[in-house]
């Protein structure tokens, strides 16, 4: 029986976004504060996902061996380091989150049956790499607060209450929504980036957070005048708002995840093929442990 296991590790490191072929003014224009000397630091959190057959002892791998391998190949090198100087790969390509995830994959792949590297630079920014040449994904997390009422305009109050329960009450209710936007693209061989992060964050702010924050969705967002603002419909609308402007940045929108509350969330993808392949059947039993 195949199973997916995951090991968590962490390290603290600094880095600087600076290209020698650019002037100081050009570096500051392209990378903003991250170009400042001598750099800045993060507490990175790494998740290594591995797949394999269960052995007679009920394990895919001995986790002590996995821990030792990650420490020997990755964290011993990177912890309390300046990433630009830690590994030779970063002499040519900047140590962005997405490129760092790719290089960690390359370091671990000869030793472990990895299927995904997920690297958090901080809780609102992380990358995933799955061994697909230069392709990786980058996720930005943000939030907005809004109220809504779940009531279909063509149904009676009694029918809406039957379908939506308390959420159909006339004056609505509110949520602190958490939004995760995942983009896919190829890592640039020099900048190490899938997309200009500041530009991506601005697109999300301009198209979603600023228009949606502190609104009554049914009344303040024209789309929801006739569409019930369930979490699913909100996520679909956000996906449709972001797809084109993200494409114009040179990346592709992959997924939108909307967390309405600790108990309710939904994910929408940009194609049916991505949805059907989002979670391999063998991965489902492991989700509860993530």
Indicate the domain borders of the chain: 1-131, 132-278
> Which residue out of 214, 226, 247, 274 is catalytically annotated?
214
Question: Can you give the pTM of this predicted structure?
Answer: 0.90
Give the Cβ contact number of residue 40 at 10 Å.
11
> Which residue out of 73, 148, 260, 270 is catalytically annotated?
260
In degrees and rounded to multiples of 5, residue 130 shows phi and psi of: -125, 20
Residue whose C-alpha is closest to residue 63's, from 45, 50, 77 = 50
Evaluate whether 11 touches 39 at the Cβ level (below 8 Å).
Answer: no
What local confidence, expressed as pLDDT, does residue 279 receive?
A: 40
What local confidence, expressed as pLDDT, does residue 273 receive?
A: 52
Query: Residues in the chain with pLDDT < 70?
Result: 272-290
Active site annotation includes 237: no
- Domain 132-278 CATH class label: alpha beta
Question: Do 1-131 and 132-278 share a fold?
Answer: yes
Active site annotation includes 210: no
> What's the CATH code, domain 1-131?
3.30.479.10
Active site annotation includes 40: no
What local confidence, expressed as pLDDT, does residue 1 receive?
A: 86
> Which residue out of 3, 161, 167, 266 is catalytically annotated?
167
Handedness of CA 80, 83, 85, 89 (dihedral sign): positive
């Amino acid at each position: 029986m195949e199973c997916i296991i995951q090991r968590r590790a962490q390290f603290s490191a600094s880095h600087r976004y600076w290209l020698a072929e650019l002037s100081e003014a050009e570096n500051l224009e392209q990378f903003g504060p991250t170009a400042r000397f001598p750099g800045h630091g993060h507490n990175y959190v790494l998740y290594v996902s591995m797949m394999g057959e269960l052995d007679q002892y009920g394990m895919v791998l001995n986790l002590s061996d996995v821990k030792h391998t990650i420490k020997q190949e990755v964290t011993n090198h990177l912890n309390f380091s300046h990433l630009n100087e830690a590994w030779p790969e970063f002499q040519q390509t900047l140590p962005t989150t997405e490129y760092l995830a790719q290089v960690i994959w390359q370091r671990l792949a000869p030793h472990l049956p990895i299927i995904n590297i997920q690297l958090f630079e901080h809780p609102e920014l992380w990358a995933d790499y799955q061994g697909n040449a230069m392709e990786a994904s980058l996720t930005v997390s943000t939030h907005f607060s809004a109220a809504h009422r779940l009531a279909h305009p063509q149904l009676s109050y009694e029918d809406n209450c039957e379908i939506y329960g308390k959420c159909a009450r006339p004056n609505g209710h509110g949520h602190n929504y958490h939004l995760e936007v995942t983009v896919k693209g190829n890592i640039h061989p020099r900048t190490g980036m899938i997309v200009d992060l500041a530009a991506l964050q601005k697109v999300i702010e301009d198209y979603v957070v600023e228009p949606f924050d502190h609104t009554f969705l049914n009344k303040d967002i024209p789309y929801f005048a006739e569409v019930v603002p369930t979490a699913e419909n909100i996520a679909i609308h956000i996906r449709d708002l972001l797809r084109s402007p993200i494409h114009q940045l040179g990346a592709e929108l992959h997924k939108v995840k909307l967390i309405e509350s600790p108990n309710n969330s939904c994910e929408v993808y940009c194609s049916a093929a991505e949805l059907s392949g989002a979670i391999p059947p063998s991965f489902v039993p492991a989700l509860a442990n993530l």
